[in-house]
Amino acid sequence: MHIDDLAAFSGWGAEAGRSLRAVGWLSSTHPFSTGRISAEVYAKLKLLLVDPWQPFVSCGVHPCELCQFDGPLGGANLFVPDGTKILVCPELITHSIAAHHYRPPDEFLTAVINCPETRTMEYKRLLLASGGRSLVGECRG
């Protein structure tokens, strides 16, 4: 599945779509930006992906579309709120960075550094402040 970086992410309904922006939804048929990112951002991204909060259980896993052979599988998504919007990336983003030299947009890198750990109240509060009320509301129980 390909979505342009920072395009509206409409997979979870219109209300959520207003605050969600896609990052890292790459495919081999669309060009994407490449370059170095800091080891600090990469390490933080891996930390956030240890136990990513998700509003819904994702359906199915998908292999990396950039690998020619034996691409790793990923199904989870990471929601990174930045105070005004929520950036949504697939868990394979760390693989895309490490193996395919993908460079996410600067505002995503900044949001990752500033993002609280995913199972904290701070994280939930930042999600709500970033327009995630409909997402968090779906998550009861």
User: Which residues in this chain contact Zn ion in the complex, by CB under 5 A?
Assistant: 64, 66-67, 71, 99
Smaller CB separation from Zn ion, 64 or 87: 64
**Least distance CB 106 / Zn ion (angstroms):** 23
CA 7-81-52 angle, 5° bins: 100
**Least distance CB 116 / Zn ion (angstroms):** 29
Q: Which residues contact 79 (CB under 8 A, 6 or more apart)?
A: 52, 53, 54, 55, 86, 87, 88, 127, 132, 135
**Least distance CB 15 / Zn ion (angstroms):** 33
**Least distance CB 67 / Zn ion (angstroms):** 3
Q: What are the two backbone dihedrals, phi and then psi, of residue 76, each rounded to the nearest 5 degrees?
A: -80, 160
Smaller CB separation from Zn ion, 20 or 64: 64
Smaller CB separation from Zn ion, 12 or 42: 42
CA neighbor of 22 nearest in space, from 98, 94, 103, 78: 78
Instruction: Give strand pairing partners of 73.
Output: 63
Name the residue with tokens 């709120």.
81
Smaller CB separation from Zn ion, 35 or 141: 35
